[in-house]
């Protein structure tokens, strides 16, 4: 399998994760973690390969990077949403500087419980 093919497969997997994570279902989160780990492992074999990337490989890597950034944005949005709900749930407010009184670690403890 070529690098471009691996990137294309990983990109398809990441797009499936994007779709799965758009639906609020805790079981999807657990499945998504396993799928993401599988994608990382499949791309890991290319880390040790020290050959120059072709133009086809570079294009595939750029598409993969774009999809990865979309997934990162969606995950960050979900984390902020959960942190906001945890803050509301715990009746915490905001400081005069507009920062949440509850730290990220404190809000994680609320919604992981």
Q: For residues 9 and 31, what is the distance between their CA atoms, to the nearest angstrom?
A: 18
Q: For residues 55 and 77, what is the distance between their CA atoms, to the nearest angstrom?
A: 33
Residue-range definition of the domain harbouring residue 84: 3-112
| 110 pLDDT above the threshold of 60 | no
Mean per-residue pLDDT for 89-102?
A: 70
What's the domain count of the chain? 1
The tens digit of pLDDT for each residue in 55-93 reads 998 999 999 999 999 999 988 888 888 777 777 777 676
Selection from 82, 78, 55, 63 nearest residue 15 by Cα: 63
Mean per-residue pLDDT for 8-36?
A: 86
- Which of helix, strand or coil describes residue 92? coil
């Amino acid at each position: 399998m070529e690098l471009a093919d691996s990137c294309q497969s990983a990109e398809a997997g990441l797009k499936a994760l994007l779709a799965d994570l758009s639906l609020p279902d805790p079981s999807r989160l657990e499945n998504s973690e396993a799928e993401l780990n599988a994608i990382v492992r499949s791309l890991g074999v290319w880390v040790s390969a020290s050959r120059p990337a072709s133009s086809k490989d570079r294009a595939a890597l750029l598409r993969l990077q774009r999809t990865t950034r979309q997934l990162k944005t969606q995950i960050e949005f979900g984390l902020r949403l959960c942190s906001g709900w945890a803050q509301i749930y715990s009746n915490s407010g905001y400081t005069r500087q507009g920062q949440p009184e509850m730290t990220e670690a404190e809000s994680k403890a609320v919604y992981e419980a």
